[in-house]
Chains A and B, each alone.
Chain A
């Protein structure tokens, strides 16, 4: 017999059971409102700003749609910033993938029980402490009087370090004021964002696929190239989205560590703040979005997501 005494909660859950779409709507409405208005809305407002221009004489924003501001991006001083940031992001991403892969592979294939817990702790621990503190800590490590220099001197390799620092463009007075220093700190700070997705992807590669590859005559290197890497690629791409876009947008690390030349994030900060040039700041902010879009489109075309 059907129970006649129904509470409100009972009636609501019955209604959801009869109308699954209603449940879906209730579940999705809050995040959709958040994403739609707060997130996409503000992004769109930013995009609109980039199509306005600033009046050079009055410093006021001229609300007429124009591509003038984008043309400004192509001026050598601005274009250098874009190029510098993109190259740094690419270098950090490639290095992060190379450093992260063995760690992730070990964690996915060999680490068990306490070792696995230790792995997660080791990877996540840097994320628990303040980002600023870590960056300043690195400044101390990389400084001319810092521990790294001291160690390099200790093992008598100063000549090597000096040779590296005397290289054009990437060198500098010390590691803490060179692009190498900026690169090292970016790599350190974003590495967990590469390790975790790669580890998750490797975790999903069944052991028997590796055995099948070996059984069919593949050497371990061939198995890595033809089976493990293609199957881990979605994870590497996911990780690279983090490392690449986080480097493209960051404005604190290059400000504290490195040569004083600007990165995109710093340019955005400077233009929207003291300079009051919101359109140019917006146009700069659009650059990482376009680069990321292009990157993902290329990755998809190259079949990076085929294994998903």
Chain B
């Protein structure tokens, strides 16, 4: 109920037929944060975003926007704007009129709305593109137009639905930095939906991990990465090793599920490791080699700096890590 929350979900559910897309979700998004909803496709994150924008209505529970119940507020009367996944630019309008659309429907006269639109276009570094049609722009440029169009109404919450999904890697990384800087500059709340854990961790102040319509874990990127609450989070965010209770016990930890980051482990001599096994395979991925070690059924992956030499597949090796880097998870 506190006014410092931009968006609150209070035990919200939304079903489509027999499918519970959003299942009893509660979240509180503080004003001014960069909030990421992370999860695989079909996990309910986009439906949550649509519940905020008003394109979906909850079957149960309440969605509050700045403390106000929003159930009966149509999308056009909510203080939120959306950057759509495939941008949804109006093909019959030029870039300037696309950006000015929100002002036009409010009745702002042509001159001032075009002035404001040009300012927004300058903000997203597309100052010279006002007269073009969306079809004449590249994917990255369209993405910026969609951003400018959503920001022109000065929303208090900006919703972004996988906005970088259609861009190539380099452009995506550049846009991540720009979005983060823009959010700092504007000081408004960003709610960002993505299935890319790297994107969520690098940009967001807080991350909610979704699975099967529920939030499995919510916290700071560091929390999520270092202290995954469940096996799903450990595996989905950064592909951590998951140690079964039996394996944990044989490695000297409690008999419970544990997570262990590949980069927190080291290879050692077979007799001096906490666990010992056989090198099964080696994959080179840029800065690191990922060495998979077979422990007679269980497999664990160790990340080794690429310049280091590693034993050939088939060699017996030991595995070591510090007590601080192994993390106990809930038994789920």
Chain A contacts to B: CB under 8 angstroms: 206, 208-209, 211-219, 222, 226-227, 230-231, 306-307
Q: List 18 extra interface pairs beyond A208-B86, A212-B84, A218-B105, CB under 8 A.
A: A208-B85, A212-B82, A214-B75, A215-B53, A215-B75, A215-B76, A215-B80, A216-B76, A216-B149, A217-B102, A217-B153, A218-B76, A219-B76, A219-B105, A226-B104, A226-B105, A231-B91, A231-B92
Whether the Cβ atoms of A215 and B105 lie closer than 8 Å is no
The complex places the Cα of A213 from the Cα of B80 at a distance, in Å, of 13
Give chain B residues whose Cβ lies under 8 Å from the Cβ of A209: 88, 90
Judge if B74 is at the interface, Cβ distance under 8 Å: yes
Whether the Cβ atoms of B90 and A217 lie closer than 8 Å is no
Whether the Cβ atoms of A307 and B101 lie closer than 8 Å is no
Whether the Cβ atoms of B153 and A214 lie closer than 8 Å is no
Whether the Cβ atoms of B101 and A226 lie closer than 8 Å is yes
Chain B contacts to A: CB under 8 angstroms: 53-55, 74-77, 80-82, 84-86, 88-92, 101-102, 104-106, 149-150, 153
Whether the Cβ atoms of A211 and B105 lie closer than 8 Å is no
Whether the Cβ atoms of A307 and B105 lie closer than 8 Å is no
The complex places the Cα of A51 from the Cα of B53 at a distance, in Å, of 65
Most buried by B among A215, A306, A307: A215
The complex places the Cα of A129 from the Cα of B150 at a distance, in Å, of 52
Give chain B residues whose Cβ lies under 8 Å from the Cβ of A217: 76-77, 102, 105-106, 153
Give chain A residues whose Cβ lies under 8 Å from the Cβ of B105: 213, 216-219, 222, 226
Give chain A residues whose Cβ lies under 8 Å from the Cβ of B101: 213, 216, 218, 226
The complex places the Cα of A271 from the Cα of B89 at a distance, in Å, of 55
Q: What is the chain B residue whose CB lies nearest that of A221?
A: B105
Across chains A and B, the number of contacting residue pairs, with CB separation under 8 Å, is 65
The complex places the Cα of A219 from the Cα of B80 at a distance, in Å, of 15
Whether the Cβ atoms of A215 and B81 lie closer than 8 Å is yes
Whether the Cβ atoms of B76 and A211 lie closer than 8 Å is no
* CB-defined A-B contacts under 8 Å, sample of 29: A208-B84, A209-B88, A211-B75, A211-B84, A212-B88, A212-B89, A212-B90, A212-B149, A213-B101, A213-B105, A214-B75, A214-B76, A215-B55, A215-B76, A215-B82, A216-B81, A216-B105, A216-B149, A216-B150, A217-B77, A217-B105, A217-B153, A218-B101, A219-B76, A226-B101, A226-B104, A226-B105, A227-B90, A230-B92
Distance (whole angstroms) from the CB of B7 to the closest CB of chain A: 15
Give chain B residues whose Cβ lies under 8 Å from the Cβ of A216: 76, 81, 101-102, 105, 149-150, 153
Q: What is the chain A residue whose CB lies nearest that of B81?
A: A215
A216-B101, A219-B105 known; A211+B149 contact, CB < 8 A: no
Give chain B residues whose Cβ lies under 8 Å from the Cβ of A211: 53, 55, 75, 82, 84, 88
Give chain B residues whose Cβ lies under 8 Å from the Cβ of A206: 88
The complex places the Cα of A219 from the Cα of B88 at a distance, in Å, of 17
Most buried by B among A213, A214, A216, A222: A216
Distance (whole angstroms) from the CB of B132 to the closest CB of chain A: 14
Give chain A residues whose Cβ lies under 8 Å from the Cβ of B77: 217
Q: What is the chain A residue whose CB lies nearest that of B146?
A: A212
Give chain A residues whose Cβ lies under 8 Å from the Cβ of B106: 217
Distance (whole angstroms) from the CB of A217 to the closest CB of chain B: 5
Q: What is the chain B residue whose CB lies nearest that of A215?
A: B82
Q: What is the chain B residue whose CB lies nearest that of A227?
A: B90
Give chain B residues whose Cβ lies under 8 Å from the Cβ of A214: 54-55, 74-76
The complex places the Cα of A307 from the Cα of B133 at a distance, in Å, of 10
> Shortest 5 CB-CB distances between A and B: which pairs?
A216-B102, A212-B88, A208-B88, A218-B105, A307-B92
Give chain A residues whose Cβ lies under 8 Å from the Cβ of B86: 208
The complex places the Cα of A219 from the Cα of B105 at a distance, in Å, of 8
The complex places the Cα of A222 from the Cα of B105 at a distance, in Å, of 7
Distance (whole angstroms) from the CB of A215 to the closest CB of chain B: 5
The complex places the Cα of A226 from the Cα of B105 at a distance, in Å, of 9
The complex places the Cα of A217 from the Cα of B105 at a distance, in Å, of 7
The complex places the Cα of A1 from the Cα of B309 at a distance, in Å, of 46
Q: What is the chain A residue whose CB lies nearest that of B92?
A: A307
Give chain B residues whose Cβ lies under 8 Å from the Cβ of A218: 76, 101, 105
Give chain A residues whose Cβ lies under 8 Å from the Cβ of B92: 230-231, 306-307
Q: What is the chain B residue whose CB lies nearest that of A214?
A: B75
The complex places the Cα of A213 from the Cα of B97 at a distance, in Å, of 12
The complex places the Cα of A226 from the Cα of B91 at a distance, in Å, of 12
Whether the Cβ atoms of A307 and B91 lie closer than 8 Å is yes
Give chain B residues whose Cβ lies under 8 Å from the Cβ of A226: 101, 104-105
Most buried by A among B54, B81, B101: B101
The complex places the Cα of A231 from the Cα of B149 at a distance, in Å, of 19
The complex places the Cα of A208 from the Cα of B85 at a distance, in Å, of 9
The complex places the Cα of A221 from the Cα of B116 at a distance, in Å, of 24
The complex places the Cα of A215 from the Cα of B75 at a distance, in Å, of 5
Most buried by A among B53, B85, B90: B90
